[in-house]
Amino acid sequence: MNAMPERGALDDPQRPHAIVIGAGIGGLAAAIRLGARGWRVSVLERCEQAGGRAAVFRQDGFTFDAGPTIITAPFLLEELWTLAGRRFADDVTLVPIDPFYRIRFDTGSYIDCSADPAFMRAEIQRLAPGDLAGYERFIALTERIYQIGFEQLGHVPFGSWTDMARILPDLLRLSGHRSVYALAARHVRDERIRAALSFHPLLVGGNPFKVSAIYAMILHLERAHGVHFAMGGTGRIVEGMAGLIAGQGGSIRLNTNIDRITIADGAATGVALDDGTRIAADIVVSNACTAHTYRHLLRDAPRRRWTDRKLKATRYSMGLFVWYFGTDIKFPDVPHHAIIMGPRYRGLLDDIFEHKTLATDMSIYLHRPTATDPSLAPPGCDGFYALAPVPHLGGDIDWATQAEPYRQALERRLAETMLPGLAGHVVTSRIMTPADFESRYASTLGAGFGMEPVLTQSAWFRPHNASEELRNLFLVGAGTHPGAGVPGVLSTARVLDGLVPAVSTVMSSAAGREVGQHV
């Protein structure tokens, strides 16, 4: 990709114009990449701040990251800054977290997870010595899966069924036809170790008992590149990305709700806002929920593949219940990241993904950012973020009445496990339910990660990065290839490099406005 254009070119109103719908991390990354290729970029965001699910909540002296809290592929961010002619380290300070996280099992036993092979061998030896050899075989396999699934295919568009056919032999060879849990179970016997090796698909909205073993690559991604935290919170990364866009001559408009994508002769031509304003563009890049993009923003367009019927039949990821809270005391023994497993693993996931019922038990991801950055809370206080996977809105759960009882149950569970003495020390509190994800982010069924990443909804089967329905419409974010998670959505923007030409190519074309290679 070319370096950032000269400033004079940035100010040229004749440059081809790209509209990016949504200022989530995927949309911001797409805007930066397009800006580096000479495009004049406008990012339109429906919320009051940039970041999408990576927004920031501030209240009572506490700062809470609304969504992503873990950075596992910093090189993808460093690349964006380089493309914009800046250094990532000048804007954001990343701190490695090691051990990555503690997994606490319902029995009270635990395992700390790290990239250090000797440390991990000792942890497995302590918990399940008979599984050490199988564990090491599994870890070696995840590296091979990562090399294929992420390094070779993570930034490649799957625009044709032949692209999928080419990788089928590798998928079969790497057990892609099995689930992540089934692959782990072939190597280790201890159910605690099986859970520790297989839970990672939940980080991208998938059921470990259903999604392809290809998603075991997440485990190796952690070990290869580490788990990091941005000082000041993930919101600092969003602020930095917004700064890059401004430096490229692009713009971000907040509180701007899009009614639909405008169309002429089978191509996207811009957008119409809720107030009737029309904004023309040579290309449109949607970072909105893919189902929302097709069902609502393209409601007037004939659709061949992503019809309302198909979207209704699609499987969506689980919902998320998130409790943000601060305490007037500190919990120094609680690590930065912890996973508190409930008494059931498969049964709870069946309730969430299949039955869509709100179980009385729960598993919790507990984030204590003040373990690393005390500035995120007032002196002597701790800030937390407790996340529990729950069913999406396809179930019969009335969050208007269930939210507070569920929060109380979550608080009791935390007090029983990793936060003894919590009662009476919560001084600030905020929650988000799947209903909030639906209203705030226009997320279909309030799903936390868009479409569920089962094999039949991955790669070519997922909505394509270059839309199958319209010329000059592109998709980024969790709903397209390669999928959810910070590395995933950054990679969806990276895919655009092979689909959208540089402006110099566009302006030298006789057609001028026929810009996509799929046109």
H/E segment holding residue 309? helix 308-313
pLDDT number for residue 299: 94
Spell out the residues 6+ positions from residue 94 whose beta carbon is closer than 8 angstroms to its own. Answer: 71, 74, 228, 229, 230, 231
Domain boundaries, the chain: 7-55+75-95+232-313+452-508, 117-224, 318-444
pLDDT number for residue 458: 80
pLDDT of residue 3 exceeding 50, the answer is no
Q: 7-55+75-95+232-313+452-508 adopts what CATH topology? A: FAD/NAD(P)-binding domain (3.50.50)
Which amino acid would we find at residue 250?
Answer: G
pLDDT number for residue 9: 41
How many Å apart are CA 144 and CA 439, to the nearest integer? 40
pLDDT tens for 220-232 read 999 999 999 999 9
pLDDT number for residue 519: 40
- Which of 1-15, 248-262, 392-406 has the least mean pLDDT? 1-15
pLDDT tens for 88-120 read 999 999 999 999 999 999 999 999 999 999 999
User: Average pLDDT in the 34-55 region?
Assistant: 97
- Which residue pairs from 367-372 have beta carbons closer than 8 angstroms and sit at least 24 positions apart in sequence? 367/65, 367/69, 367/336, 367/337, 368/331, 368/334, 368/335, 368/336, 368/337, 368/338, 369/65, 369/69, 369/229, 369/233, 369/336, 370/330, 371/334, 371/335, 371/336, 372/95, 372/97, 372/229, 372/231, 372/336
pLDDT band at 518 (very low <50, low <70, confident <90, very high): very low
pLDDT of residue 127 exceeding 50, the answer is yes
Mean pLDDT computed over every residue of the chain: 91
pLDDT of residue 516 exceeding 60, the answer is no
pLDDT number for residue 154: 61
pLDDT band at 214 (very low <50, low <70, confident <90, very high): confident
Percent of the chain at pLDDT > 90 equals 82
pLDDT band at 460 (very low <50, low <70, confident <90, very high): confident
User: Average pLDDT in the 363-384 region?
Assistant: 98
pLDDT tens for 265-314 read 999 999 999 999 999 999 999 999 999 999 999 998 999 999 999 999 99
pLDDT number for residue 4: 41
- Give the DSSP letter of residue 312: H
Tokens standing for 485? 């998670």
Quick count: other Cβ atoms within 10 Å of Cβ 149?
28
pLDDT of residue 251 exceeding 70, the answer is yes
pLDDT number for residue 12: 65
How many Å apart are CA 157 and CA 150, to the nearest integer? 12
Residue 388: CA count within 13 A, CB half-sphere? 26
pLDDT of residue 259 exceeding 90, the answer is yes
Same fold, 7-55+75-95+232-313+452-508 and 318-444: no
b/e map 204-236, b = 16+ CB within 10 Å: bbbbbbbbbbbbbbbbbbbbbbbbbbbebbbbb
How many Å apart are CA 328 and CA 376, to the nearest integer? 13
pLDDT number for residue 461: 80
460 vs 360, residue with greater confidence: 360
Choose among 295, 324, 255, 311: nearest CA to 451: 311
Phi-psi region of 307 (alpha: psi -120 to 50; beta: other; left: phi over 0): beta
pLDDT number for residue 457: 84
How many Å apart are CA 333 and CA 125, to the nearest integer? 23
Q: Calculate the CA 228 to chain-centre distance.
A: 15
pLDDT number for residue 473: 97
How many Å apart are CA 183 and CA 219, to the nearest integer? 13
pLDDT tens for 71-91 read 999 999 999 999 999 999 999
How many Å apart are CA 519 and CA 516, to the nearest integer? 5
8 A C-beta contact, residue 425 and residue 384: no
User: Average pLDDT in the 377-392 region?
Assistant: 98
pLDDT number for residue 455: 78
Spell out the residues 6+ positions from residue 439 whose beta carbon is closer than 8 angstroms to its own. Answer: none
pLDDT number for residue 229: 98
8 A C-beta contact, residue 463 and residue 290: yes
pLDDT band at 8 (very low <50, low <70, confident <90, very high): very low
User: Average pLDDT in the 491-518 region?
Assistant: 70
Q: 117-224 adopts what CATH topology? A: Guanine Nucleotide Dissociation Inhibitor; domain 1 (1.10.405)
H/E segment holding residue 17? strand 17-21
Choose among 341, 383, 376: nearest CA to 362: 341
pLDDT number for residue 150: 75
Tell me which CATH code domain 318-444 carries.
3.30.519
- Give the DSSP letter of residue 388: E
Choose among 292, 257, 288, 261: nearest CA to 275: 257
- Give the DSSP letter of residue 72: -
User: Average pLDDT in the 392-411 region?
Assistant: 97
pLDDT number for residue 2: 40
- Beta partners for residue 58, in sequence order: 63
pLDDT band at 328 (very low <50, low <70, confident <90, very high): very high
